[in-house]
Structure 1
Amino acid sequence: MTADLHTHTMFSDGTDTPAELLAAARAAGLTTVALTDHDTAKGWDAMADAVSAGMRVLPGAEFSTKHPNVDGDLVTVHLLGYLFDRDDAGIVGEWQRVKDDRAGRGARIVQNLIDDGYPITLDRVQEIAGPSNIGRPHIARALMEKGVVGSVSEAFDELLHDGSPYYASLRSTTLAEGIAMVVAAGGVPVIAHSRARAAASVLTAEVIESLVPLGLAGLEVRHPDHDDAARAELADIAANLGLLQTGSSDYHGTNKTLRIGQERTADEVVEQIIDAGTVAPFVG
């Protein structure tokens, strides 16, 4: 297996440029990666320019969605979309809404921390974010610079988690709407890390089955946050429902202690995704 289908660059909350990500992928023995920055295709052109001989890139994105639990509370679920038309009106409109919401959310979290005496500034967090919207990993790095926390993970655990008093929520599309949106744009939707964090409480086998008629194509089975039991369960669900099974690192550069290529997707599954998508991969 030589494909990693879930990676992030500096165009969302990763630290690598597209060229740096591709160099890391090559060094790890990969020949195929998917670019799945959060709610954006900004990095696609740079990735297409950076891809070199022997490498292949599946352009995609990780969509922020929500799904209700048994109490009706909305729980965050991430959806990977591959090889879709980035100019599709539905996706363009939704991403603009998410961009506006996320930009305001990041600033609100920063201000909440400042108001409580934490020694960071909005200007510095925006410098760290660079061309992307302010996200929680950027805020975490600003807190690290000031010695408030020792790592990005510690910042999330102590200050930036969903239940934190400093947190500000995002309004996301539902998971069902996200799947339908990716399908309408000619893409291939795969649910990301469905046994990680709160998503595990809502993505039962029955819920996953209900999403298949909407066009759900696969499940990310092999992920660093999935233990052996979760992988076995998801593989069984995918096999029973005829869904593709992917494996991915969720690489974020230095923002997370994840190695690119540490989880991989079978080559035949990659070919099935390519056959089902509208947009061609970038090939070196």
Structure 2
Amino acid sequence: MLILLPPSEGKASSGDGPALDPASLSLPELTPARESVLAALEEVCARPVDEARTVLGLGPRQADAVQRNRELRTAATLRAADLYTGVLYDVLRLPELLAGPSAGRVEETVLVFSGLWGVLRPTDPVPPYRLSMGVSLPPLGPLGAFWRSQLTEALTKLAEGHLVVDCRSAAYAAAFRPGPDVAERTVTVRVLRQTVVDGVVRRSVVSHLAKAARGAVAHSLLASGAAPQSPGELVEVLADLGHRVELTAPARGGPHVLNVIVSD
């Protein structure tokens, strides 16, 4: 099984590990692409701060993010598991999982997508940074399209024979779109909020609850040691773990959709 995750906007501000070594990161075949994005980001951040903020889509109060990007090659690093601190990661609790007996399985199962690094495994050491997959980074262009050209072959090979549980947001889903062979073993996690209005059950796609729900699903799968081999088995496992889930048949050539039903 592979679990695909987005990063989080919330990140730790510092680490205590050695300086960045791009060649030490997982999937070393991505090193040239990572170096290209890193160099392009450094070039943008060498511009006046306001200009760099505009390119990166940052607000007036995020000048510190530009400075942080200027120091990527010399700043102290920390594990990806400790770097991301948003809602999904608060619920997922990767550091706790990596401290337990299933640490090796967690390392092999989780892939975190990143506008700067493409994908990371939980123990990959990187410095704090700010670069969204939705940015069009000169001269590379939209990062979703750039990384799709770099990741498709590597991740298609990595996913061979595995169930893929896709918890990514739309911006990060653009960086890898499974082909038909992988898509038939892929389940995209969608979160629906259920309410009852005047006795009528209504469901709607939510954003504020979705991150926590995806984190909970990923944590359950990793902490339980479950190893579902198919979308159907995934539904059974998650139901046994206390999640309310429903599987939707895929569109032609596309992945299955797993609806996770939540209530306020």
Higher relative contact order (CA 8 A, sep 6+): 1
Same fold judged by TM-score > 0.5?
A: no
Instruction: Report the TM-score when normalising by structure 1.
Output: 0.29
TM-score of the pair, normalised by structure 2: 0.30
